[in-house]
A and B are shown apart, each in its own frame.
Chain A
Amino acid sequence: EVHFLESGGTLAQPGGSLRLSCAASGFILSGNGMSWVRQAPGKGLELVANSVYTGDTSYAESVKGRFTISRDESKNTLYLQMNSLRVEDTAVYYCSGHGGSSQWGQGTLVTVSS
């Protein structure tokens, strides 16, 4: 059974950095697409970063140049490096697979505030 477990969310200062992790079990990251999705309080879902099976990546305009999606296949873990954090990055961050592995984790809360 596929499971994703996010971690790394915490309180951060504007302009600061955080790295989120998504540990996968029952699933091999290599050759599979993965996404980071966030949900600000009371808002809808926003796809933040996407990594397709070819290795190509894409980002929401709101995070382009600040966030980087990557994976460590030896650890079967997906990452989201978040730099130059803004108050508007405050959200629950989820990782999710693609296609038949499109399960979701429970999310990790990132709060950006001074």
Chain B
Amino acid sequence: QAVVTQEPSLTVSPGGTVTLTCGSTTGAVTSGHYPYWIQQKPGQAPRTLIFDTSYKHSWTPARFSGSLLGGKPALTLSGAQPEDEADYYCLLSFGTTRLFGGGTKLTVL
């Protein structure tokens, strides 16, 4: 079974830009894995920021964007705000199976 990998932690300065990535032990990730990016703040339910690689929900701040970079899904945050400090999870589909990555703890400092 595939394992979905993410950076365990990243730090970004307020106003700065950071890119989170997501990999699969099975090889390159494509749009056919329908990548999602999910944000979770302490004590809150998760919320989906990005689905199907790059699509945003109405509540997704414009400073977040999703893409594929070098065979990996990427979540780019441009102009980080203190309220963006959270855990970010990647979710990939492998046929009918869906797997989460271990999450990236993003610190805005």
Contacting residues of chain B (71-109) with chain A, CB-CB under 8 angstroms: 87, 89, 91, 95-100, 102-103
CB neighbours (8 Å) of B98 from chain A are 35, 47, 50, 58
Report yes or no: A107 in contact with B38, Cβ–Cβ below 8 A. no
| Contact (Cβ within 8 A) B38 A50 | no
* B45 adjacent to A45 (CB under 8 Å): no
Cross-chain contact A102 with B57 (CB below 8 angstroms): yes
Do the beta carbons of A99 and B91 come within 8 Å of each other?
no
Name A47's contact: one of B95, B100, B103 (CB within 8 Å).
Answer: B100
Given A50-B96, A50-B97, A58-B96: A100 and B51 interface contact (C-beta under 8 Å): yes
Q: What is the bound-complex CA distance between A58 and B36, given in angstroms?
A: 18
Considering only residues 35-78 of chain A, those with a C-beta below 8 Å from chain B are: 35, 37, 44-47, 50, 52, 56-58, 61
The interface of chain A, by Cβ under 8 A from chain B, is 35, 37, 44-47, 50, 52, 56-58, 61, 94, 96, 98-100, 102-107
